Every structure is written in C-alpha cells, then in structure tokens.
Structure 1
Amino acid sequence: MIALRTVSGKEFYLNTDCILKVEKDYDTLITLVDHKTLRVMDSPEEIAEKVLAYKQKIYQSSMGV
C-alpha cells in the first residue's frame, strides 16, 4: 500500500493493485479497477515513484534480499 493525500490534505493508504490508471487534471485523478475515482494532491509522477518503490520492496522481500 502507498500513502497518498486527498485534495483536502488528509493522508490515506491505497492498495496499488486497485489502480487502473492515473491522470493529471486540475488535480490528479486515480481510476480504480472498479471504475471508482479518487482525486489526490500527489502528482502522477509521485504516484508512479511510490508504486515502483513499493513493488520493488515486495519483490526484494520475496527474493530474500
């Protein structure tokens, strides 16, 4: 899970497997696999970096690194 911030500034955690796509609008819009949407303050680039870091951590952990 990754930490994100709502447009009101509240922090929450999102399961990365639930993300279908991330778009830049006025805010950042995340579309989930169930087609619900979330607006967040984090940029698409920040989200991509967080997802990549999380996936690398999971992979390394599963490999015993």
Structure 2
Amino acid sequence: MATPKLQMDRRAETPTVAPLSPSVRRHLGRSLQALYAETLSAPVGARLEALLARLDPRKS
C-alpha cells in the first residue's frame, strides 16, 4: 500500500495528510457505526444517570 503524500499546511507550518476519498470515508463511517451500535444501545449505568440528572435537573 502506498504511503499518502504529505502536504504542508501553510498556516500551521506542519505536514498534513491528504484528505481521504469519499468511498474510504463512507467505509470508515459504516464500520464505526457497526462497531459502536451495541455500545450506544446499552443502558446507562445508575451512577452515570445520577450524574447526568445533576447536570440537567429538568429531566429528573
């Protein structure tokens, strides 16, 4: 696999990697959604729920 060409960001004077193609971005997005779907659907623990309630008392 070829190494991506580096471009210089003139504002920061640091090298940046060329942007990813749309197809690669779609593939990564779908893969991450599948990876985190179970985590996002899991119930929130009681301790975290209590902390969230303290941050927004309107929802309790």
- Whether the TM-score (by the shorter chain) exceeds 0.5 is no
Tell me which of the two structures has the higher relative contact order, counting C-alpha pairs closer than 8 angstroms and 6 or more residues apart: 1
Q: What TM-score bracket applies, with the shorter chain setting the length?
A: 0.3 to 0.5
Higher-Rg member (1/2): 2
The structure whose residues are more often strand, as a share, is: 1
Instruction: Give the TM-score normalised by the residue count of structure 1.
Output: 0.33
Instruction: Give the TM-score normalised by the residue count of structure 2.
Output: 0.36
